[in-house]
Chains A and B, each alone.
Chain A
Amino acid sequence: MAKKGWDEFEIGAMLRTFDGKIDDIAGTRQEDRAYSQNSSYTASVADWRLIKPVFNKDYCIDCQFCWIYCPDVSIISRDKKLIGVDMDHCKGCGICVEVCPTNPKSLLMFPEQADEETEIASWPKKDEEEA
């Protein structure tokens, strides 16, 4: 979209979230929707993040607490299974890690630069005292 100057905005703008017609939004998965460039789905807030969540599926029990409590729709859950974190939209708040009930947690926060595979390989072991 061409950038508009401050005095060129329309009074009362209408933005369309989707390109073309979409009938059943609630029945269409995000990956199947034709988002227009006006949808914030096409934007990214990844640069807000200082720490990032890393998901270790070995310990996940698919309780979906992280899915319901994620403020940024960044926990991707398909067919009742948690499949990963949407790193374009995650702001790194850490709520998912707080609400994770497993021991050890299946989501942990690491610095943004950390390598996912090495962190998963050196995942903390079960904490007996807490159990």
Chain B
Amino acid sequence: MSEMKKIKNLKEFSTSADRFEGANLLCPGCAHSIIVREVLNATNDDMILSASTGCLEVCTAVYPYTSWDASWIHIGFENGSTAVAGAESMYKALKRKNRLKQPERNPKFVSFAGDGASYDIGFQWISGCMERGHNIMHVVLDNEVYANTGGQRSSSTPIGSSATTSPAGRVSYGEKKNKKDIVSIMAAHGIPYAAQVAPNKWKDMVKKIQHGFSVDGPVFINAVSPCTTEWKFDPKDTMNITDLATDSLVFPLYEIIDGHELNITYRPKNIVPVEEYLAAQGRFKHLFKDEYKYLIKEWQDRVDEKWAYLQRREESRV
């Protein structure tokens, strides 16, 4: 095990040399690259990365350019996690046979995927990786929609959101089904570490990533990634929206250790009403019409219920 990078404060963190390059084709203000940078900068070790099809993949590997300074592979929509798991298995086998050319190096295996590639299409593959116990980290960049193909709903899209396949209009308020609780599903595999992170809480995020690198076994990270194009807000507001998401508890930050021990890692000092979070985004604009106002109350109740549940689970230590 190599020495873990010490990051006490942001100034210290800022001495990291980025391994992700600019001039990628992600939209201005996209949170994907903020998350990727925070993950890559959390360690100084070599990285073996993959990305499933999605915004991150199509924007960072446009022939003849690549934005990655580490080994990176893309295969298909569903199998980013298994590609990295295969590399990890080979690494383990070579290590066992003492055939590694540079045994002093300790590569970290990370697969990045969007919510489409994790919640829907790659679900079975990720589940397989978690079950087989590969020493990998799967990071979900959760923007709650298939942003790359033009905003179709995914099973991460929350109730009331207007997506191109579930548009809001005269007869519908948009998406009718609630978001899947992916962190609990993955934690139920009994994996050593599953956590929910947000890029605005960089310290919490780096701590969780480093913990994820230090444990032996599969790690699942779900990161909220506001999408300026599909959530319909101004590019400069990315971090403000993320602040609203974490402070309104729509996106609570917690971790689940060994599949049962739940810890809440961020408790907002002032809890913001969910209404403010919804009002800041164009995709929820129609909820403020009189006939759909009841949905906002339902949203608030749902968020409160989830928060109460998380607190109960944290207290009971089960």
Pick the most buried of A13, A30, A63, A72: most chain B CB atoms within 10 A of its CB: A72
Task: Evaluate contact between B17 and A95: CB separation under 8 angstroms.
Answer: no
CB proximity to A under 8 Å, residues B271-307: none
The answer, yes or no, to whether B15 is at the interface (CB within 8 Å) is: yes
17 A–B contacts from the bound complex (CB under 8 Å): A1-B64, A15-B65, A26-B16, A26-B45, A37-B64, A38-B64, A40-B22, A41-B22, A42-B65, A43-B65, A69-B200, A71-B32, A72-B26, A73-B37, A80-B12, A80-B14, A95-B238
Residues of A within 8 A of B25 (CB): 45
Task: Evaluate contact between A15 and B64: CB separation under 8 angstroms.
Answer: yes
1/0 contact string of A1-24 vs chain B (CB within 8 Å): 100000001000101011000000
The answer, yes or no, to whether B202 is at the interface (CB within 8 Å) is: yes
List the 5 closest A-B pairs by CB distance, nearest first: A89-B22, A94-B236, A93-B29, A93-B28, A91-B28
The answer, yes or no, to whether B131 is at the interface (CB within 8 Å) is: no
The answer, yes or no, to whether A110 is at the interface (CB within 8 Å) is: no
1/0 contact string of B155-167 vs chain A (CB within 8 Å): 0000000000000
Task: Evaluate contact between A74 and B17: CB separation under 8 angstroms.
Answer: no
Q: Kindly identify which residue among B21, B34, B63, B69 contacts A69, using a CB–CB cutoff of 8 Å.
A: B34
The answer, yes or no, to whether B245 is at the interface (CB within 8 Å) is: no
| Inter-chain CB contacts under 8 Å: number | 143
The answer, yes or no, to whether A56 is at the interface (CB within 8 Å) is: no
Residues of A within 8 A of B69 (CB): 17-18, 25, 33, 39
Instruction: Give the secondary structure class of A's interface.
Output: loop
The answer, yes or no, to whether B31 is at the interface (CB within 8 Å) is: yes
Residues of A within 8 A of B89 (CB): none
Task: Evaluate contact between A28 and B15: CB separation under 8 angstroms.
Answer: no
1/0 contact string of B8-42 vs chain A (CB within 8 Å): 00111111111111111110111111100110000
| Chain A interface residues toward B at CB < 8 A | 1, 9, 13, 15, 17-18, 25-30, 33, 37-45, 48, 62-65, 67-74, 77, 79-80, 86, 88-95, 97-99
The CA of A30 and the CA of B238, in the complex, are separated in Å by 26
Given contacts A15-B64, A39-B66, 15 further A-B contacts (CB under 8 A): A15-B66, A26-B44, A27-B17, A29-B17, A39-B67, A62-B11, A68-B13, A69-B200, A71-B26, A71-B34, A73-B33, A77-B15, A80-B11, A93-B29, A94-B236
Q: Kindly identify which residue among B14, B44, B63 contacts A9, using a CB–CB cutoff of 8 Å.
A: B63
The CA of A15 and the CA of B65, in the complex, are separated in Å by 8
Chain B proximity of A106: nearest CB distance (Å):
15
Residues of B within 8 A of A43 (CB): 23, 65
Q: Kindly identify which residue among A18, A42, A65, A89 contacts B10, using a CB–CB cutoff of 8 Å.
A: A65
Q: Kindly identify which residue among B10, B19, B65 contacts A40, using a CB–CB cutoff of 8 Å.
A: B65
Residues of B within 8 A of A30 (CB): 17-18
Chain B proximity of A5: nearest CB distance (Å):
13
The CA of A48 and the CA of B236, in the complex, are separated in Å by 15
The CA of A72 and the CA of B262, in the complex, are separated in Å by 34
Chain A proximity of B8: nearest CB distance (Å):
12
Chain A proximity of B53: nearest CB distance (Å):
15
Residues of A within 8 A of B200 (CB): 69
Closest A residue by C-beta to B38: A68
